[in-house]
Amino acid sequence: MTVNDNTREIEAGIVTDLRDRMTYGGYLELDRLLAAQHPVSVPEHHDELLFIIQHQTSELWMKLVLHEISHVRELLAADKLGEALKPLARVKHIQEVLTQQWSVLATLTPSEYAQFRGSLGNSSGFQSVQYRAIEFSLGNKNAKMLQVFEAEPESHAMLEAELARPTLYDEFLRLLARRGLPVPASILERDVTRAYTMHEELVPVIKEIYDDPSTHWDLYEACEELVDIEDNFQFWRFRHLRVVTRTIGMKIGTGGSSGVGFLQRALELTFFPELFAVRTEIGRA
Contact 118, 174 (CB under 8 A): no
Q: Is 107 annotated to bind ligand?
A: no
Spatial distance between the Cα atoms of 206 and 181, rounded to a whole number of angstroms:
9
Q: Is 262 annotated to bind ligand?
A: no
The four Cα atoms 195, 196, 198, 203 give a dihedral, to 10 degrees, of: 180
CA distances 4 to 9, 11, 48, 174, Å, are 12, 17, 42, 65
Q: Is 156 annotated to bind ligand?
A: no
Contact 92, 232 (CB under 8 A): yes
Contact 178, 123 (CB under 8 A): no
Q: Is 254 annotated to bind ligand?
A: yes
Q: Is 99 annotated to bind ligand?
A: no
Spatial distance between the Cα atoms of 169 and 76, rounded to a whole number of angstroms:
10
Q: Is 178 annotated to bind ligand?
A: no
3-state secondary structure of 202: helix
| Alpha-helical runs (H) found in the chain | 24-27, 30-33, 48-77, 81-105, 110-117, 129-138, 153-164, 168-178, 185-188, 203-211, 217-248, 260-266, 273-281
Residue 95 burial by Cβ neighbours in a 10 Å radius (0-12, 13-18, 19+): buried
Provide Rg for the chain, Cα atoms.
Answer: 23
Q: Is 220 annotated to bind ligand?
A: no
Residues near 174 by Cβ (< 8 Å), separated by ≥ 6? 76, 77, 166, 183, 188
Pick out the residues of the known binding site for substrate.
51-55, 113, 117, 254
Pick out the residues of the known binding site for heme.
240
Pick out the residues of the known binding site.
51-55, 113, 117, 240, 254
